Structure formats: structure tokens, C-alpha cells
Structure 1
Amino acid sequence: MRVAVVDADGIAAHLPAALAAHGLETVRVRSESPDVHLTGSAAADVRHRGDVAVTADALRRRDVGFVLAGTESGVLLADELSAALGTPGNGMTRPRARRDKFEMVTAVREAGLATAASFASPSADEVVAWAVALGTWPVVLKPPASAGSDNVRICGSVDEVRAGHAAILAATTRYGSRNETVLAQEYLHGDEYFVNTVSRDGAHHVVEVWRYHKRALDGGHWMYDYEQPVPLDEPRLSDLAGYTLDVLNALELRNGAGHTEVMLTAAGPVLVESGARMGGSHQPSVVSRCIGTNQVECLALAVARPEEVTERRLPTYRPRSFLRYVTLISPGDGVVPDEAGFAVVRALPSFVDLVLTTPAGRPVGRTVDLATSVGYVYLDSADPEQVESDYKQLREYELNGLYTDEAV
């Protein structure tokens, strides 16, 4: 059997090797609108040009028996191809609910699960009226179908809502399309997590749970700061995981990977959004070394040996130390450091790995979202205070010349 991966970019670039470890060949499918910010290979075995029947026939001739979405841009096409081929896929009652965030929250709410108050409209006046009627500030504005914190705005006033709405409609998504409407949601208070899962034939397995830490940037932008895996004995972890699996069922996600972001509020878990694909970025080898498993390898197992999922035999993650994934944040214009420039970062006692998403020597501007970050750093230690100290030192380096060739 061969496995088609639609847009094998970002973390999905690791998937062909993981599948090959189980004797499965990969057929790379390129969608019409891949993520312009990811640096995966442009090479493709099959290029989709708008006709699902033609693309499905090309995969049928290659003996494809399973189709996976590599990244967010491949979610809808992977579902359509699975349905056309009759291979294990997701429910097609409401497929856009796995892509459009307003349809997503509607489907989850109709399943009886807690959701954020939400409203979508191309009209700034309508969104302002909704926000005023909601009666609580701030509110969150975002494109309904982008990813990676793209144009997510935290608005604390009517003027900020109008400005955010205009900015979103004037922008394109990470997939090159114009935003035609704006999603507004209540601001959720609590701790935010992501739950990575794999599913086979409707059975789900929680691969890992991480807690996000975000920070507000100038201009109303909300940025990922760092994230770290959650210990298995964390209070309310079972509530978080159970809610997530209910969300997957509401969205008819039955086969493949899931990346679900959930706010744990005082009243309980509430959906932020869910992606029918793997989490956006991580180094599988580092994650496995520190928590015992990773989503890429679990997804390959779910495809190659479905009984590992359906009979509950996939490995359970167990944090072995204090791992932290830190997003690099540039405070202004500069250049991406080379190996010598990053030497001070590599010398941090808890440093494990550095991944650049922008090549060394390239210009860098102020970071406002994940697309404008130049990469990320892993810190890990048996001592959480060492990780925290090194994290603060890294941020000091960034503020004091890391990206401008000045002494740090």
C-alpha cells in the first residue's frame, strides 16, 4: 500500500521516513494553495489542478490506499480524495467544519459541547454591533480559514475592532487567498493547551498534551511565546483530554491526526480551534527523547497497524524532564544570525536544539506572528529553574543585539 500525503510540508516532511519504517511508500500530492510560509520541498508526485476525480484517478493508478493531510492546506483535499477513493477517511456530512473555524465552532456547539461565543461577518458594523452586545472586552478577531496566529487580533474597544476587521479583510491567508469575512469570538480566560491525537476507524489516541504560554505584542497581535508538555498527573488533564475526543467526534475526525487547541477555563474546557492534521512544528526526535513518543511516529503506526490504535496499544507520553519549546521573537529589523551568531544560545546550559525556518543571513523584521518568527529553540533540563533562567537569558539576547550583529 502507498500513502498519499497532501502538502508534506513543515512537520509533515518527517512523515515519509516514518511511513517507510513500516514498509509504506509515500506519494506526495501538492494542493493548489499550499502554505506560502512553510519550507517543505516543492517536489510532488501528483499536482492537484482543481479536478478531484482526475487527482483521485492518478492516486488510484499508484495503488494509494490511504490519504493524509500533511498541513492545514491539505485538509479539505485529503478528505475529498479519501471519499473519492473509498479509503479510510473522515465523515463527509460537514467537511468544512474541519477547516472553517466558524463552521467548526457551530458543529461543536450543536454536539452539546462548550464553545466560545462566535460571530462571522464581512461587515465591520455587524461585528462591532455583536461585540458591543456581547458586553465583555476584549474580543478576538481572526480569519476563519488561516493558521499559525495569522492576523489574530485582540481588540479592547470598538475602534480596535474596526481597525482589526479592516486589516484582516485587506490581508491574504497563509494559503494565498483573500479573507472575505472575519470571525469574532469572546476572549476566553484560562490556561491554553494543545492536544495532539491520532485516530483510526473512529478510535482516538492522545499522543501528547502541551500548555501554551502566549504574550501580547504591540499592535494588538497575540504571539506564541513558549510551550511545554503537561505531566500526566496534572489536575483536570482527563477533563481536557475527554473534551478533546468529544470535539473530534463532533467534527467527524475518524482517521488521521488532530491538533486541537483548548482553553481550560474556570467552567471547564472550551474549544479554541481544531486542525485535522498534525501539530504545526516540532522536531520528532527531540520530542521522543524527552517524552517518549511523538505524533509523526504514532500517525505512521495508525496507518500501518490500525490495531495499535483500535486496541489501545500506542505508547503513552511521559515527560522525563522539563522540556520547553521557545519561539524566537525578533524585536525589530535585523538579520538571521549564522552559526557563530547563535553560539551564545547554543551555550545555554539547557540548550538542546535550534531549528531555523528562515535561513541564516536573511533579513528579519519585527516578529508579529508565527510566519514572521525565524525559528525555535528547545531547552531541556532536570531542573526547571535552569530552563526558566536560560529562557530569560535567550530573551535578553534577542532584545540586545542577537539579530543585529551587536554584542550580546
Structure 2
Amino acid sequence: MGESRTKNIVIVDGYSMARELAHDLHAMGANLFHLRSTAEPPPVFRAGINMSPYRGDLGYIGSAEQAAGVILDMDIDHVVAGCEMGVSYAERLAHLAGTPTNLYRTIPERRNKFRMIAALHRRGLLAADQTLVRDEEQAVAWAQRYGNWPLVVKPLDSAGSDNVTICRSLDEVRAACRRAFGAHTVFAQPNRELIVQSWLDGVQYIVNTVSRDGRHFMTDAWRTNIRLLPGYAMVMEDFELLDPASELASHLLSYTFDALDALGIVNGTAHSELKWTTRGPALIETGARLMGAAMDRDSYAAAGLKTQSIYHALDLMRPETMNELRSRSDRYARGRHVAKVFFAFAGDGVITSVDGLKRLNTLPTFHAIYRTLPAGTRVHLTTDSTGWGGAIYLVHDDPELIKRDREQIREWDEAGLLYDVAYETAEAHVTSIAA
């Protein structure tokens, strides 16, 4: 494919997985500029970002309207969100700058999770029953009227399973509300409203996409195996790549594409989490941004895959390449089988040794591990899906061998034979589930 001209691209809040996008865009010749949507990064992102792929740092200019006044003089081709906290700001800025973005009128539906699910209901798509509450009494009253358990209490606009709690009684609803109302989101914003939703029973899946002018492309899809911690929430255990040619993948694709249309996602990336219920697929939520957790190009390449970030970079820099791909198919092609395995810390403590990680090299399907923690790192009880501790990739032609190695890693992790942690507190019971 022919090379396109150099393009000027602004990444808003280039934290987390945006490091992959910045790398991929830079490798394709983009002039990158970083822009913050807030005066200071929230604590979770204060470690900063690698600025080496960027041509310039615009810092924090102010509102989207103020930022538009600056970038209109910069010949900007695209404005994209680097992570969840930058989604609304980036879309408003792109709209003002006249660059491709999602539908302006549905911006609230893409960050406000209550409005998101309401938009699906209006389109006739299966999704959870829900209510919006401003205090625990409202939550308890709705739970009493609804009468079906379990229920889910979650913040309105956070990320990474932050303060998402599965409740099986009114007392647990109260406790979940008190905990969430007394906390800030991962983006350092107070929780003033919460959502209470019906529990969607079934296996959980992830569908990642890249869209251009309303045409969607499924870049990858995964079965998510999770852990349920009593009194807390769901924690990632591992992901298994789906066969894109399977009937399951086709059903998930069809539903997800309909959901993207309902939410006005027509340009850029989306990360959708779904449950396969007895009535079919139902959306948990969609983020109009890249997938988080783990997206490591070398291990993807070993499995014959491109990351969602690479597809996105191609769509921005070499649209003719993505147009050709879309003309042939609406989904990725799989080479080898691949799984991502994550750690779960059993309590608060300090890592005393990482020598146990060498055990991974004895597994026949082991490919790589990324973002490990050094000895001396303070860790906390894992209660979210941030992937703290690193991501282990297993790649092989034999899925049964991958399954065996996944189970071995889980046994080692639970026995403390990978990270050696001196725990100060520990949870006594963790239940593995596929939900």
C-alpha cells in the first residue's frame, strides 16, 4: 500500500494503553502532540507517560473550546482519546476542530453508563435493568422493589471495575453504596451518583473494534474468565482469544455492531464488554477508546495478530489499507491460539522476591510477560481489572496445552510461587468463576 502524507495527530490523555497507540502512530510517521484534559493527571496516572514518540506537549490548555482555539492553527488531522478519561473531551475538541469523530449529540451516552444502557434499551437491544441513585436509601428501595438477586452497584463514569460490587442482600447494597459514595473514581472525581443494575448471568466476553464512517471492524474478541471476591467485585483471571470464524464470534460481532450504532460510535476505537445470557448477548458497557489491561504487539504478532492499536493507527495513517481489509472481511483472522493470564494479590503486603517468575519459562506455551513488579513494591488486594502485576502471554497451536498451562499458572499464583509477597492482610476465600 502507498504511504500517506505525514499527519498531525493530537492524543488527549495519552496514559495507559495510549502508549501503544503513540508508538504505532510514531512508527507510521505521524507528528504527535499530547494534550491533557485536566490541569493535573489523576493519581493513578501520575507516573506520567513516555513523551519520546511525541513531537510536542501541549500540556493543559483549558476547556475543549479553549483548546480548539489553539489547534485550529496547527493543521491537525485527527484528535483521539488516549484513555477513558479523555473520551468526551477529545470528541468535543474533534467536533470543534472539524476532524473525524463520533456523533456529537450522543457524547453523554459514551461516558455516562446509565445513559449508555438506556440508549441500548431504546434500540431494542438486550441489556440490564437499572436505576440511577444519589444515596444508599434510593438504592435499597429499588433493590427491594426489584426483588431479584444478585444486583450490581457501580459508579456512573469510572473504569477498570473500580468499585463495581456484586450484591446478594440489602445489607450488601448498603455497604457497596457507602464504599462507592465515600470514594473517588480512578480519575479522581467524586462519586455523586451510582447505578444499580440487574446481574447478567453468563460467560463474559470482550469485543474490540475500529470504526470509520460508520463501518465497523472487529479487531479481536476474547472470552474473559474472572474471579469473584466476596464483598468486592470481579477480578480478571485470564482471556482466551475467540475463533473469529465461530458462530459465537459472529453473534457477538452482530450485537456489538448494533450497540456501537446505538451509541453513535462511527469513528475510532471501542472496547465492549458483554455477557452471553440465556437470552443471548447483552452489553455490560462500551468504552469509546482502546482496550486496557494488555495489548502487547510482540506476543500478538507471535499469534499472527495485530493489536487494536495497530489497526487504529492504520485507519488514521493509511486508511486505504483498512478500507481494503474491510472490503474483504468485518473481522480479524487468527493464526495461533493465545491467552493472557493476570495476577491476583490475596491482600495488602510487599513483594519480597520475584525469582518465582522464572517458573514461567518452563511452560511449553509461555511466550512473554510484561510490566512485572520489582521486589519491594507494595501491593494491595486485587479488586479490579487493572492487570496490576503484569500480563503473561501463552501462545501455541494446541489450545489444550494452553489450558493446562493457564491452570498451572493459577495454581502457582494462588500458592505464592510466582511473586513472593509478605502479606499484612489476606483474604481467606476467593472463588473462581466464568461469568
In the alignment, is residue 71 of structure 1 matched against residue 77 of structure 2?
A: no
Check conservation: 1:200, 1:303, Cα contact below 8 A: no
Q: Identify the residue that residue 433 of structure 2 maps to in structure 1.
A: none
Residues 325, 47 of structure 1: CA spacing in aligned structure 2 closer, same or farther, 3 A cutoff? same
Q: Identify the residue that residue 169 of structure 1 maps to in structure 2.
A: 181
In the alignment, is residue 335 of structure 1 matched against residue 350 of structure 2?
A: yes
- Distance, in Å, in 1 between the alignment partners of 2:327 and 2:387 is 39
In the alignment, is residue 193 of structure 1 matched against residue 200 of structure 2?
A: no
Deviations 1:132-175 (A, max 9, x none): 22221000111110111111100000110111011110111110
Match of 1:182 among 194, 205, 208: 194
- Distance, in Å, in 2 between the alignment partners of 1:347 and 1:334 is 27
Check conservation: 1:11, 1:283, Cα contact below 8 A: no
Q: Identify the residue that residue 284 of structure 1 maps to in structure 2.
A: 297
List runs of 5+ in structure 2 lacking aligned partners: 1-6, 423-435
In the alignment, is residue 403 of structure 1 matched against residue 419 of structure 2?
A: yes
How far residue 3 of structure 1 moved from its aligned partner, in angstroms, is: 0.7
How far residue 13 of structure 1 moved from its aligned partner, in angstroms, is: 0.4
- Distance, in Å, in 2 between the alignment partners of 1:357 and 1:184 is 35
Q: Identify the residue that residue 49 of structure 2 maps to in structure 1.
A: 41
What are the equivalent positions in structure 2 for 1:9-408 lying under 5 Å apart? 9-32=15-38, 34=41, 36-38=43-45, 40-41=48-49, 43=51, 45-280=57-292, 281-310=294-323, 312-313=326-327, 316-336=331-351, 340-356=355-371, 358-371=373-386, 373-401=388-416, 402-404=418-420
2:335 counterpart letter in structure 1: R
- Distance, in Å, in 2 between the alignment partners of 1:372 and 1:300 is 24
Deviations 1:11-52 (A, max 9, x none): 210112322333321111122164543555175711234322
Residues 167, 19 of structure 1: CA spacing in aligned structure 2 closer, same or farther, 3 A cutoff? same
Check conservation: 2:342, 2:387, Cα contact below 8 A: no
Query: What secondary structure is seen at the aligned counterpart in 1 of 2:247?
Result: coil
Check conservation: 1:203, 1:310, Cα contact below 8 A: no
2:77 counterpart letter in structure 1: G
Check conservation: 1:10, 1:40, Cα contact below 8 A: no
How far residue 185 of structure 1 moved from its aligned partner, in angstroms, is: 0.7
Deviations 1:350-371 (A, max 9, x none): 2111122644431112212234
| Aligned residues: CA RMSD | 2.2
Alignment length (residue pairs): 406
Residues 265, 322 of structure 1: CA spacing in aligned structure 2 closer, same or farther, 3 A cutoff? same
With normalisation by structure 1, the TM-score equals 0.93
- Distance, in Å, in 2 between the alignment partners of 1:374 and 1:109 is 37
- Distance, in Å, in 1 between the alignment partners of 2:160 and 2:401 is 29
Give aligned-pair identity as a percent.
Answer: 35
Query: What secondary structure is seen at the aligned counterpart in 1 of 2:78?
Result: strand
